[in-house]
Homo-oligomer: A and B are copies of this chain.
Amino acid sequence: MLNFGKMRYDNVRVKEFTERGDYVNIYDIAKLSGVSIATVSRVVNGSPRVSEKTKQKVLAVIQESEYTPNVFARGLGLDSMKTIGILCPDISDLYMSEAVSYLEKSLQNYGYDCILGCSGNGQQEKERHARSLLSKRIDTLILVGSTYAGTGKDPAETDYIRAAAEKVPVFLINSYVEGENIYCAYGDEWRGAYDVTQALLRRGKKRILFLSDSHTYSARQKLAGYEQALSDAGYPIRGELKFYVKDEIHYVKEMLLAHRTLEFDSVLACNDSLAVGALKYAGARGIRVPEELSVVGYNNSRMAVCCEPELTSVDNRLERLCNDAVDRMLLVLKGETAVDQVRKIPCEIVKRCSTDF
C-alpha cells in the first residue's frame, strides 16, 4: 500500500511489489498527513515544537499505517540503535541463561534491545565475537561469566576487552578486568569459599575436596578463599584435594570413582552441577550425604534443588549483579562520570542439607 517514495524525487522510486509487506516510511506519513518529514520526525521524537493539532493529525496517520521508524536510518544519523551486545560463553548454561534473562528483562524495560553472542571459552572466538558485536554499533558491551577475565597467565588475553572499551562502555558480570571504561560487578567468591571452608572445618571436616572445572577468575577466587581458610585454621593445603574435572555430572562421578584412593570427607564444588556429580559418586559408593560426606555447591541454581538430598549452595546474587550493571550502564550512557568501576557483592550461603554446617 503506500510508499509514495521521497517527495523530493517525486515518486521516482518504483519498488517492485513482492508478496512481502512493505514498510511505511516517514515520507509516506508526511504526505498522508500533509506536513513535511521534519514535522513527522518531531512528532515521532516527542519534540515540543509542534502544535497540538498537527501532532494529533500526524499521530493518527502513524497509528493507522503502523509506521515504525527505520532503525537503520535512525542509527545512521545518531550512531546508536539502542542496542546492547551481550556475550556469554554458553547460553545453555544455567548460570548464563539466568543472567541473560535478568539483563534482557531490565534492558527491555529501558527500551534497549539485546544482541546475543555465545563465544565459548576460546581466546580467538571471544575476540571474534566481541568484534562482531562491536561492528553492529552496540551502545554497550556486556560480558557474562568469569571466563572473560582470562586465565590470569597473560594480561594480553584481555586486551581485546580494553580495545572494545575504547568504543563503548564494557560491563563485566561476575568477572574482573581493569581498564578505562570497563565496569565490573561480581560476587565476593573469595569470602564465600572462605566461609564455607571455615564452617566445614569447624564441623570437624579434615579433608575438603575442592572440585572445579576451570581456572577462571571466579574459580581462582574460590580456590584462594578455600586455601586461606585452611591456612588460617592451621591446616595444610593438599594438592591432591584440588580436583579438576569436566563440568558434566556423570563425568565427575566417574572420575571420582576412578580415584578410589582419594579420601575426602567433604566437597566444595565451584558450581552446582559439579556438586551433583559428587552426590552421584557418593550414591554409587553408598556413602551417605550429608552424614558421611558434606557437599556444598555454588551458584544456588535449580540443580541444587533438583537433586537428592538438596544441596547447600553459595549464592552469588546474580540478579543483583545484573541489575547493578544495568543501573550503572544507564548512568554511564547518560554521561555521568562518577560511576563505580567495581562492585563487589557479598555472597549468601543458602543452606539446604540441614546437617551440613
Cβ of A114 within 8 Å of any chain B Cβ, yes or no, is: yes
Question: Are B308 and A283 interface neighbours, CB within 8 A?
Answer: yes
Is A241 interfacial (CB-CB < 8 Å)? no
Judge if A258 is at the interface, Cβ distance under 8 Å.
no
Whether the pair A91, B81 counts as a contact (CB closer than 8 A) is no
> For the complex, is A68 an interface residue (Cβ under 8 Å from B)?
yes
- State which of A170-178, A194-202, A299-307 sits at the interface with chain B: A299-307
CB distance from A125 to the nearest CB of B (A): 10
Number of copies: 2
Q: Is the CB of A303 within 8 A of B305?
A: no
The distance in angstroms between the C-alpha atoms of A19 and B168, with both chains bound, is 10
Q: Produce 1/0 per residue, A64-84, CB < 8 A to B.
A: 000011111101100101010
Q: Roughly how many angstroms separate A71 CA and B75 CA in the complex, as a whole number?
A: 9
Which chain A residues numbered 295 to 350 have a C-beta less than 8 Å away from chain B?
A: 302-303, 305-308
Separation of A101 and B118 alpha carbons in the complex (Å) = 8
How far in angstroms is the closest Cβ of chain B from A28?
15
- Interface residue ranges of A193-218 to B (CB < 8 Å): none
A246 on the B face (CB < 8 A) = no
When distances are taken between beta carbons in the complex, the residues of chain B under 8 Å from A136 are 71, 81, 83, 113
Given A20-B167, A166-B20, residue A104 in contact with residue B117 (CB < 8 A) = yes
Pairwise interchain contact A105-B81, C-beta atoms closer than 8 A: no
Q: For the complex, give the distance between the alpha carbons of A133 and B113 in Å.
A: 8
**Which of A92-100, A222-230, A260-268 makes up part of the contact surface?**
A92-100
B303 touches A302 (CB 8 A): yes
